[in-house]
Structure 1
Amino acid sequence: MAADFKSLGKFEQGALISGAVAIILSFFGSYVTASYDGPGSSAITSSAGTNAWTSYATLGILLIIAATAIVAVKAFSKENLPDGVPWSLVALGTAGLGTVLLILRALFPGDPNFPGLDVGPGWSGYLLWIACIALTVFTFLSFKESGEKIPEIKKNDTPPAPPAA
């Protein structure tokens, strides 16, 4: 059963758009920037940046792609997904974990321990955070709207008795 984008719910539309924006922003080279200002008036000044496909931010981006793919498959061809799995919850978990990894990677890029060196998130890093947080919020709202339940883990079952010796 094919569907067009306009027939989707507003939360699915928001998740797909924010996921696509996050994927595009991951390729910009200002996710984490480093700038060096040397001492003195005739100092050397330099700056460089990297995209989000480095270190453990790669795992974060892959999780964001997976969450966006789950939302897309659930929206456009739900019959291809196995029954009994709370897919909105899976999308929420992957989007949330991916967002946390991307934020942590940009905030804690490593300790340069070099005077004059400043390392931190760049403009595309901040925009990527916003897109990933929006994806997480939209998947949460989609989960709440779907009526899916969080699977219960029952711990009140008594274990079987050990075998007699």
Structure 2
Amino acid sequence: MVLTNILITLGAFVGMEAVAWLAHKYLMHGFLWTLHADHHKKETTDFLERNDSFFLIFATPGIICLFIGMQNDFNPLFFIGLGITLYGMAYFFIHDIFIHQRFKVLRNSDNAYFKALRRAHKMHHKHLGKEHGECFGMLWVPIKYFKQSMDKKKSATTKVSS
């Protein structure tokens, strides 16, 4: 039973990457662009953006699943809600803290995965409009960005050792 609950939680977490990708590409860069545009254009210096309203939109299903699952002896809905909530926490740490530096921590990482994440997200933000976007996910990074970060690391190592 414990293994099943762990697998449900992990499945929901991984599934949220697909949900986030689809929602980002087709909703946020679609009819909900009015909420997401300030994230790309930085029209204000305010700490909060209209884009932050997506936090509430995406948290709601997780909260509902957690609540209903707790009312029913921690049934699978609870563990689905847990996976959704854990993904939301990961999103906050990776996207808001690490990538966009809303809090000035985790600035210098030499990790290839983290460098690839930053590069992919930077490529996403090079498009200021809602069209022609790329890299809509958060945790899944196209392999070309890993290769770029590894190539830069190798060239830096070669320069130091020369």
Please give the TM-score of this superposition, normalised by the length of structure 2. Answer: 0.28
Larger CA Rg, structure 1 vs 2 = 1
Higher relative contact order (CA 8 A, sep 6+): 1
Give 1 or 2: higher helix fraction: 2
Give 1 or 2: higher strand fraction: 1
